[in-house]
Structure 1
Amino acid sequence: MKFIKALILVFTISFLVTGCYEDSDDKQISSNEINDFVWKGMNSWYNWQSQAPNLSDTKDDNTSEYQVFINQYNNPSDFFNSLIFQPNVTDRFSWFIEDYNEQQLEFQGISKSHGLKYKSVQINTNGDIIIYVRYVADNSPASDANIKRGDIINAINGTVLNTSNFSNVVNSLFDDTVTLSFVSENGGVLTPLQSKTIIATVLSENPVYLKKVFNNINGKKVGYLVYNGFRTAYNDELNEAFSFFKGENIDEFILDLRLNGGGSVGTSAYLSSMVYANAGTSKFADLKFNSKHSNRDGSYFFENTLNVFDINDKKTGEQTINRLSTLNRLYVLTSNSTASASEMVINGLKPYMNTVKIVGTTTYGKNVGSITLYDSPRTDFQDQSSANPRHTYAMQPIVFQIFNKNGESDYTQGFIPDIEVNEYEFWNNILAFGDENEVVLKAALDDIRGFTTKMNTSKKQQPFAKKIELTAPDKKFEYEMYIDKQFFVK
């Protein structure tokens, strides 16, 4: 495991009544200047630029009218959002960055957190809601408090959850300090256990969460990997995991991407290169930009070597990829949190492997990706090193669409599972990752065994179980797919 000591640089940027922003060096910059950067960067790069009326190339032809236009908003984030094309419909993904230093660390899994991911479920017609723990990060406040996957929470800061209060109470779940009340369940009855108070701290989460081999699944050796994010700083750990599977000479492979919202396109190509050796160095994916940057259109290929990076995305070395040579099919465990670079693996491997079988629920549906744009107009907004030093604002707009080698990219509604298993219906019996009886994993293993999964009805859903959406309010990058600067210097 790689342990990274990182200090997140926090820049407090406050809006002044004069319409200026002030950074830590007391240098003021006007909202007009920032909004000008926002418009010009979006006009140049945005995927839907030609369809967004406010990004028309004629918008800045009249200088005085343009100044009135960009001065409509004192807050640059609000101005950025006003430029989005059909927000929450066509573009659900672009966002404004308050501090690009902090954001870069978050892309590598370094952020302030309790170390928990959750799922919320309404468990009866009376409106009672529980939250079960989907994931606990190693060496986190949650793991230190002995919280485990499958633990059931029915109250936050002392307030018992129901449909009437949930929307008002749930955001407290993501406060720096929160008290969680845990219960056990038997026959639909919840029995209080204890409450635990946890305090968020800066974590560095290794996305290579669990690797395991099942030695006798219908006479086959089955590799299993829980991989939670395509983070370039952990390319070497990912490669090491496949060295383990290669040494075990596995017959089948199950890739668990249920908690993987995406990340680096390059790392997605590396992972796919590890999975399927027979692809050689063929094309993995095509990236297509808007008409202003069609010269940037390019491809990712299956690779024999990978680049190793530090947390600042600086290349520190190369490694030979540990490619499996024993697989003809791939099992992918999915949920609606499986997105972008994870879906790219599915889409990119489908033309090559005999079978890519999806087990779980429909994926998120994100076939587009982004780059970070900085206030550096002389470099077409790409170069952080030459960015305006008076602020740390940046943008993460959608700038490309991704296709597999057959030109396929039609999964905006997500990939539908071949074997559907709704994990939340088993909220009262969520087992650890890697447990052979964990419901989604078991469905894949049973398919390898050659028979249809039989659900344990004594520990399945209660007569009523309804999924309730629950998303961390500050995790805009949860479903990100971005290209690294190395793509543009190939």
Structure 2
Amino acid sequence: MKKYILLLLGVTLAFTACSDDDGIKNGPTPNPDPDADVTAQNFMWQAMNLWYFWQGDVADLADDRFSSDAEYTAFLESYTDPENFYYSICNKHRRIVGTEAAIDRFSFEEEDYNVLVNSLSGVSKSNGLEFNLMYKYANSNEIFGYVLYILPDSDASGADIVRGEIFTRVNGVQLTDSNYISLLFGANDTYTLGMAHIENGDFVNDSKEVTLTKVANQVENPILVAETLDVNGTKVAYLMYNRFLSSFNEQLNQAFAQFKAEGATELVLDMRYNPGGNVNTSRLLASMIYGTNTSEVYIKQRWNDKVQSQLTDEFLTDYFANTTGASSINTLNLSRVFVLATNDSASASELVMNGLAPYIEVIHIGETTSGKNEFSITLVDDPDNSFVYNSSREDKINPNNSWGLQPLVGRNENADGFSDYTSGLVPDIALSEDLTNLGVLGDVNEPLLARALQEISGVSAKVDFTVEMPAKSFTSSRLHTPLKDHMYLDKPLDIQIQ
């Protein structure tokens, strides 16, 4: 019998496993011994067997992997730590074999799915300080942090600390690559930063200290700067956009209404620190930039074979939008866009660039991007909803298993069929940030923005683009949140399930 459901990926998504040729085939479903302590591992295997993008490439996720329930139980019991078990069934995940050999670099888990779900809305425990970490010297394990920006209305916004400042110590202890996680991202919500400055190419510790406290339910508005600049008579919209959060879609649309009202004919889209987020929000942003023709393809999805065979072309294809769902899209109808992007730019940020490329000129200024071209969904222990998290089914989630998964489940390609940017998107104009001159975000003399404005105006900037100390970080505070740098689906659509 056919049934019709509302499909909301990342929020509510349901498939019915069937035995006939028309449904998603999982093979005989193994069941663990009810007396075995493998609740979390069983959930992880069942969910990954259905949804994981590389399910067909992982021998331990094969539909016919186990000849009996006893063999399946023994396999689950061989991993006493659910976290280790999860990464063992990921496809050569970096936590298992190292970054160089990794295929799946981005799937992750969270012991409390509520933390994960909150992060998808931009809600987390934070002091509002966003920073990157770098090695101090080539042959040393000592590291330092430099401030990227500070969230408004946060603990850090009231402290004596600004973009570009450097810190080398936490609670009096020199930061190293072996202690920074515990010092900066550990259980202690309050820490004191020891500030420093660069002198003659070296680090000099200062007496200045800044104490910050993380607070629960800190909300990040991803629109840090939205203003229209007058560049030799040309109105240039500048948008500093730091995450793709669906809860701020209306504010994003209002920013474009402001740009239109102020007569903007060019756009500099600053995503240099944007690690990604909601796929539908990327579609809306692309529509605000390019146009609202709902017959033009923005992206198409590719899932694993068992899921792909069940989905219609209509479902797999995302078109440009003419509404946010609550209001009409305010679009600039541009023929080109200047994008500031770096190695910190990932997933949905790259998706916007790739999705727009078949239609308009995308002038990429900065560095090669992260190269994250897969999307994810949130999975919890709710087998009756095919393990996909649904906020209206909180009472259906197994109360004895709080684990949440955020595995990669598919890949997006643009209207030209291009999706192969695992090595990142290469800039048209290469320019690294300079630790000695990070500048003020939104200021016409900030180097990356100044370089874009030079291209727009055709007039040489007064800014010196020489980079004395390139900002080459190895990690970011943005990546030490439950959301990290994931691209996740949030897509309502009616499909037919056999």
Aligned twin of 1:407: 417
The 1:485–1:220 alpha-carbon spacing in structure 2 relative to 1, beyond 3 Å, is: closer
TM-score (norm 2): 0.83
1:166-218 Cα shifts (integer Å, max 9, x gaps): 43346412342211122344544636251011111121111111101111x23
Structure 2 distance, partners of 1:58, 1:155, is 53
Aligned twin of 1:431: 439
Structure 2 distance, partners of 1:82, 1:130, is 32
1:24-62 Cα shifts (integer Å, max 9, x gaps): xxxx99642222221111111110011101001112332
* Pick aligned residue for 2:317 from 299, 302, 315: 299
The 1:130–1:42 alpha-carbon spacing in structure 2 relative to 1, beyond 3 Å, is: closer
Q: Offset of 1:154 from its aligned partner?
A: 2.8
Structure 1 distance, partners of 2:328, 2:474, is 41
Q: SS state of the match for residue 115, structure 2?
A: helix
Q: Offset of 1:372 from its aligned partner?
A: 1.2
User: 2:225 aligned with 1:210, yes or no?
Assistant: yes
Q: SS state of the match for residue 237, structure 1?
A: helix
User: 2:164 aligned with 1:150, yes or no?
Assistant: yes
Structure 2 distance, partners of 1:375, 1:278, is 38
The 1:123–1:42 alpha-carbon spacing in structure 2 relative to 1, beyond 3 Å, is: closer
Residue ranges of structure 1 left out of the alignment (5+ in a row):
1-27, 308-317
Aligned twin of 1:469: 474
The 1:76–1:126 alpha-carbon spacing in structure 2 relative to 1, beyond 3 Å, is: closer
The 1:250–1:243 alpha-carbon spacing in structure 2 relative to 1, beyond 3 Å, is: same
The answer to whether the 8 Å contact 1:184/1:193 transfers is no
The 1:193–1:345 alpha-carbon spacing in structure 2 relative to 1, beyond 3 Å, is: same
The 1:239–1:448 alpha-carbon spacing in structure 2 relative to 1, beyond 3 Å, is: same
Structure 1 distance, partners of 2:461, 2:169, is 34
Q: Offset of 1:122 from its aligned partner?
A: 4.6
Q: SS state of the match for residue 455, structure 2?
A: helix
Aligned twin of 1:51: 57
Which amino acid in structure 2 is aligned with residue 416 of structure 1?
A: V
Q: Offset of 1:488 from its aligned partner?
A: 6.2
Structure 1 distance, partners of 2:135, 2:449, is 24
Q: Offset of 1:280 from its aligned partner?
A: 4.9
The answer to whether the 8 Å contact 2:36/2:73 transfers is no
Structure 2 distance, partners of 1:229, 1:171, is 25
Aligned twin of 1:315: none
User: 2:46 aligned with 1:40, yes or no?
Assistant: yes
Which amino acid in structure 1 is aligned with residue 421 of structure 2?
A: Y
The 1:45–1:122 alpha-carbon spacing in structure 2 relative to 1, beyond 3 Å, is: closer
Structure 1 distance, partners of 2:160, 2:238, is 25
User: 2:268 aligned with 1:250, yes or no?
Assistant: no
The answer to whether the 8 Å contact 1:361/1:416 transfers is yes
Q: Offset of 1:75 from its aligned partner?
A: 2.2
The 1:30–1:104 alpha-carbon spacing in structure 2 relative to 1, beyond 3 Å, is: farther
The 1:380–1:180 alpha-carbon spacing in structure 2 relative to 1, beyond 3 Å, is: same
Structure 2 distance, partners of 1:427, 1:258, is 15
Structure 1 distance, partners of 2:80, 2:491, is 31
User: 2:99 aligned with 1:117, yes or no?
Assistant: no
The 1:399–1:97 alpha-carbon spacing in structure 2 relative to 1, beyond 3 Å, is: same
Higher relative contact order (CA 8 A, sep 6+): 2
1:285-326 Cα shifts (integer Å, max 9, x gaps): 00111111112361111111113xxxxxxxxxx11111113x
Q: Offset of 1:113 from its aligned partner?
A: 1.1
Q: Offset of 1:126 from its aligned partner?
A: 8.7
Q: SS state of the match for residue 39, structure 1?
A: helix
1:358-406 Cα shifts (integer Å, max 9, x gaps): 1111111011111112212222222531322333222111111101111
1:360-371 equivalences in 2 (<5 Å): 360-371=366-377
Structure 1 distance, partners of 2:36, 2:481, is 27
Identity %: 36
The 1:57–1:48 alpha-carbon spacing in structure 2 relative to 1, beyond 3 Å, is: same
Aligned twin of 2:82: 76
Structure 1 distance, partners of 2:439, 2:38, is 53
The answer to whether the 8 Å contact 2:260/2:332 transfers is yes
Which amino acid in structure 2 is aligned with residue 135 of structure 1?
A: Y
The answer to whether the 8 Å contact 1:273/1:302 transfers is yes
* Pick aligned residue for 1:347 from 346, 354, 358: 354
Aligned twin of 1:288: 302
Structure 1 distance, partners of 2:214, 2:36, is 34
Q: Offset of 1:487 from its aligned partner?
A: 4.7
Which amino acid in structure 2 is aligned with residue 349 of structure 1?
A: L
Q: SS state of the match for residue 324, structure 1?
A: coil
User: 2:385 aligned with 1:374, yes or no?
Assistant: no
Q: SS state of the match for residue 320, structure 1?
A: coil
Structure 2 distance, partners of 1:250, 1:362, is 28
Q: Offset of 1:274 from its aligned partner?
A: 0.5
Q: Offset of 1:452 from its aligned partner?
A: 6.0
Aligned twin of 1:168: 179
Q: SS state of the match for residue 288, structure 1?
A: strand
User: 2:402 aligned with 1:392, yes or no?
Assistant: yes
Equivalent pairs, count: 442
Which amino acid in structure 2 is aligned with residue 427 of structure 1?
A: L
The 1:135–1:383 alpha-carbon spacing in structure 2 relative to 1, beyond 3 Å, is: closer
The 1:97–1:448 alpha-carbon spacing in structure 2 relative to 1, beyond 3 Å, is: same
Aligned twin of 1:336: 343
1:59-87 Cα shifts (integer Å, max 9, x gaps): 23322111111111222222111101111
Residue ranges of structure 2 left out of the alignment (5+ in a row):
1-33, 95-101
TM-score (norm 1): 0.84
Which amino acid in structure 2 is aligned with residue 461 of structure 1?
A: E
Structure 2 distance, partners of 1:403, 1:98, is 32
The 1:207–1:142 alpha-carbon spacing in structure 2 relative to 1, beyond 3 Å, is: same
The 1:451–1:124 alpha-carbon spacing in structure 2 relative to 1, beyond 3 Å, is: farther
The answer to whether the 8 Å contact 1:31/1:75 transfers is no
Structure 2 distance, partners of 1:439, 1:420, is 12
Aligned twin of 1:270: 284
The 1:451–1:121 alpha-carbon spacing in structure 2 relative to 1, beyond 3 Å, is: farther
Q: SS state of the match for residue 357, structure 1?
A: strand
* Pick aligned residue for 1:87 from 93, 98, 106: 93
